Amino acid sequence: MKTTDNTMLITGGTSGLGLGLAQRFHAAGNTVIIAGRRADLLEEIVAAHPGMESIVLDVNDPGSITAAHASVTAAHPELNVLINMAGIMLPENLLDGSALSVAEDTITTNLLGPIRMLNAFVPFLVAQDEAVIMNVSSGLAFVPLPFTPTYNATKAAIHSYTQSLRVQLAESSVQVLELVPPAVQTALMGQTNDERAMPLEDYLSEVMTLIADRPESGEILVERVKFLRFAEADGRFDDVLAMLSSH
């Protein structure tokens, strides 16, 4: 993936990793379109970053995705990057019947959302030069945090889906990337000040360096996530799961 001169759409671009990457890519000389549900917040972010654009988009709503596809591709026929960043992470007590609603919401946002976005945008992107799809999984796709079972499951599914997508698009011009974050200091699960999580700016800097230095890499893995990503291959799965179970 080239780091500049792209036109990119980033879902979940109003906070956390999505906003952070949007700011980094914008500063690097890309045309960045952030997508989110709150028009007022989108307007505030765009006003603070001249040249950045926005669109109201709810990845839980197929009609919203259809409308966003029509609008973005008409305004930006050069669009060549889609980053599926929108996601939620909520705790679940599986002994409590109310956990089902959390599970359903998590699957709708974290799994159906990216699949619907891909269904809408892949036919457009395969006709572009130097196109990129970046799906965001998690280190927890590889060793689960028992406190958030459906989140882990959706991210494991995104990992698997991304591998299949990469194979199916292998003969096209589309590069398929998987961003695999560790715990990062964002509002997700209240981790903004969690000393066990990686500082956001450190994470963003390492990601941008990896993209620049290894443009052909399929997985974007900062050093801090590798203990999760390779736990099973290294024979450490049970130990890491036990560590996460104590959180």
Question: Are residues 25 and 6 in contact, defined by beta-carbon separation less than 8 angstroms?
Answer: yes
The CB density around residue 60, as the number of other CB atoms within 10 Å, is 16
Q: Measure the CA–CA gap between 121 and 108, rounded to whole angstroms.
A: 18
Backbone phi and psi for residue 81, each to the nearest 5 degrees, phi listed first: -135, 130
Identify the active-site residue in 151, 174, 204, 207.
151
Q: Measure the CA–CA gap between 37 and 109, rounded to whole angstroms.
A: 12
- Residue 224 per-residue DSSP state: G
With H, G, I as helix, E, B as strand and everything else as coil, classify residue 10. Answer: strand
| Catalytic residue list contains 151 | yes
Q: Are strands 53-56 and 175-179 parallel, antiparallel or unpaired?
A: unpaired
Report, as residue numbers or ranges, the catalytic residues: 151
